[in-house]
């Protein structure tokens, strides 16, 4: 008899995999888009699981209400999180968020950048301003977060950037989104080499078709999304993205750096 995959539903107790770690999660909130009973989003599931696995957490987001909702769920895991509101495309704001997180937690061992927006549609309908706005959030924010966090991070720390299969394949017509997510690969590899002498690891989690509120909206906008031939036969959950993130943050991944971990049910490599 097949064992139920409780991990994918976020129903497994913590195992202490991040005990004594201090982790800042950028993009911890969640937009629910007025959906009834919305599924967990990546940022919210990541925040909860990191806390469940024993880490101190600093949660940051642009949307204060969404951030506080995540914080209440993290409190349910037995951790009192720090809540920080900021615009990650703004250099001063992001620097303040990173600095306050490190001050309040007496240092940083982990950074998760779950930051991304969608803008434009195809080449003709994507103006230069829209392109720049997408890159400011989807790439510049990650660069600024790492630049501000690394001087404050202990040796042996871990950074995880959240990307998308849009970096690996043309999944939709949003050219700026695809290009920005691909750019994270170059950033992560450069950073990984730069900080390797300190034992700091930099990796990327690459979600595929994930059942989140945004994913459901995307399925409405792009009809073929629901019909993509995922070898494992279903969409993933935000909890599966969260478990991949926790793995890369933890000492279980102590010899892994500069890698992109696909959480896509085999869609990219087996299509």
What gap in Å lies between CA 16 and CA 253, rounded to an integer? 15
Selected catalytic residue, list 143, 177, 243, 255: 177
Asked if 139 and 115 touch (Cβ cutoff 8 Å), the reply is no
What gap in Å lies between CA 60 and CA 56, rounded to an integer? 13
What gap in Å lies between CA 199 and CA 79, rounded to an integer? 27
Return all residues near 187 (Cβ < 8 A) that are at least 6 apart: 139, 142, 143, 146, 161
Q: Give the helix ranges, DSSP H, for 196-266.
A: 213-221, 238-249
The single-letter DSSP state of residue 54 is: T
Q: What is each CA distance from 190 to 109, 138, 257, in whole angstroms?
A: 20, 17, 11
Beta bridge partners of 26: 60, 113
What gap in Å lies between CA 239 and CA 14, rounded to an integer? 13
The verdict on whether 243 is a catalytic residue reads: no
Q: Which residues are catalytic?
A: 177
């Amino acid at each position: 008899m097949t064992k139920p995959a409780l991990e994918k539903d976020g129903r497994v107790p913590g195992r202490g995999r991040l005990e004594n770690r201090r982790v800042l999660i950028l993009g911890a909130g969640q937009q629910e888009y007025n959906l009834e009973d919305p599924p967990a989003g990546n940022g919210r599931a990541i925040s909860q699981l990191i806390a469940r696995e024993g880490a101190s957490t600093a949660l940051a987001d642009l949307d204060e209400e969404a951030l506080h909702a995540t914080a209440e769920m993290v409190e349910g895991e037995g951790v009192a999180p720090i809540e920080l509101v900021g615009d990650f495309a703004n250099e001063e704001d992001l620097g303040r968020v990173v600095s306050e997180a490190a001050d309040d937690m007496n240092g940083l061992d982990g950074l998760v950048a779950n930051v991304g927006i969608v803008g434009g549609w195809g080449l003709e309908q994507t103006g230069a301003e829209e392109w720049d706005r997408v890159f400011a959030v989807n790439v510049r924010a990650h660069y600024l977060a790492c630049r501000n966090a690394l001087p404050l991070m202990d040796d042996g720390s871990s950074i995880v950037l959240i990307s998308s299969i849009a970096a690996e394949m043309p999944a939709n017509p949003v050219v700026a989104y695809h290009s920005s997510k691909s750019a994270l690969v170059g950033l992560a590899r450069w950073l990984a080499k730069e900080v390797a002498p300190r034992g700091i690891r930099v990796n990327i989690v690459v979600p595929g078709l994930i059942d989140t509120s945004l994913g459901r909206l995307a399925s409405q906008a792009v009809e073929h999304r629901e019909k993509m031939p995922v070898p494992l036969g279903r969409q993933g959950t935000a909890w599966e993205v969260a478990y991949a993130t926790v793995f890369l943050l933890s000492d279980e991944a102590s010899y892994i750096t500069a890698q992109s971990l696909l959480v896509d049910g085999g869609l990219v490599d087996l299509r």
